Amino acid sequence: MPSRRPVVVLMAASSPWAQLVVEYLTKAGFSIHVVDFNPPSGTNQDLAARSIAALRLKVAGVHMISTPRAFAARLLVGAWKLRALARDSDAQMVLALYGGVQAAIAWLSGVRPYGLYVVGSDVLLADRIRRLISRISMRGASTVLANGLYLAEKTRELAPGVSIEPLYFGIDLERFQPPPSPNRGPVFVCSRAFHEVYDNGTIVRALAALNVVPPDFALSFLSSGPLLDETIALADRILPPHTRKRVSFAGGVSDVEIVAALRSATFYLSASLSDGASASLLEAMACGLLPIVSDIPANREWISDNNGLLFTPGDHTALARSIKVALEGGPWIASAIQANHRMVAERANVDVNLRRLSQVILRDSARYSTARAH
């Protein structure tokens, strides 16, 4: 076990999956300093503040660093402040849990070694300038990890010659597990945020296209985001009254409430237009929900016709057909749920996958120390 090796982690401090990573690394013996260059803003600031306050009790430090809005100035100021923090904490490595701006800041800081973990938006949705910046920062990294097989493939296309390792960070199978007895009612849940890429409006339009919904039908949207109010207005406008009253918008919930919502539901919905390996999908599968998700490459790493329902991205009529199939039920659903739980346990166990991340950090810091000594 490492002897409290200092590591600086660049991340969104209120992100549940990023918090899980640094908590694991802390338990593994690393002294973690979290750096967030994007302090929470907009809706649910109180929820984010409580989450960050809890994180402060678990790591060596949480540093919320403001930077200028101008892109170039943001990179330069962020790099300068990161370099100072790494020096003061005697950090043996920097780990950026996102690519893009955070990766560029790590590269510009001059702190070595640094590792990168890229998610879907870093590669699949980046514009030309950010793709160039990502390519440069990846070439300087000691390790580049990608969230899934498809994303690793696309990252190799973005940065030819760079060694890319696929790694699902995974989920906590002790927290995300099925309820004691299977859920039977038509209870749907969506835990994706209200951003354009997650296309939650298509789910609302699909419900409007259904001719009939059962009297015990329910759908809960758990998250918040900039398109929340717009999507609520859409639901108010196009859903029949008997359907609208069965659709709820929580506007953001705690981690505990997410687990409770998943364990009380039967079906999981995601209309994402682009993604890496979705932690939300894996959490739902682990909790025994049948996935009804968009037919994109990252989802096809996990879902086929045998263990879930896929629909054409952005096509609300296709999603409506999939929802109808789910409502009709059948013995295949129970088999799919069992297969999904086994798959997640085998491929996305956070304890197994983050043990590998710990080994990567130890390997890279040791290599750099040896090279510097010579």
Residue range 278-327, pLDDT digits in tens: 999 999 999 999 999 999 999 999 998 889 999 999 999 999 999 999 99
pTM above 0.75, yes or no: yes
Q: In what order do the strands lie in the sheet with 143-146?
A: 61-64, 30-36, 5-10, 93-96, 114-118, 143-146, 164-166
Asked if 47 and 144 sit in the same domain, the reply is yes
Strands (E), 14-155: 30-36, 61-64, 93-96, 114-118, 143-146
Distance CA(126)–CA(137), nearest Å, equals 14
pLDDT at 86 > cutoff 60: yes
Q: Give the domain extent around 152.
A: 5-170+349-373
Asked if 335 and 369 sit in the same domain, the reply is no
Asked if 220 and 104 sit in the same domain, the reply is no
Q: What is the pLDDT of residue 40?
A: 65
Q: What is the pLDDT of residues 101-140, one digit of tens each?
A: 899 999 999 999 999 999 887 888 778 888 888 899 999 9
Beta bridge partners of 146: 118, 166
CATH number, domain of 107, equals 3.40.50.2000
Q: What is the pLDDT of residue 5?
A: 87
Q: What is the pLDDT of residues 141-172, one digit of tens each?
A: 999 999 889 999 999 999 999 999 999 888 89
Q: Are 93 and 113 within 8 A, CB to CB?
A: yes
Distance CA(57)–CA(172), nearest Å, equals 20
Q: How many domains does the chain have?
A: 2
Residue 238 lies in a domain: yes
Asked if 160 and 23 sit in the same domain, the reply is yes
**Which uninterrupted H or E stretch holds 8?**
strand 5-10
Residue 179 lies in a domain: no
For 289, which DSSP code?
P
Asked if 204 and 154 sit in the same domain, the reply is no
Asked if 166 and 195 sit in the same domain, the reply is no
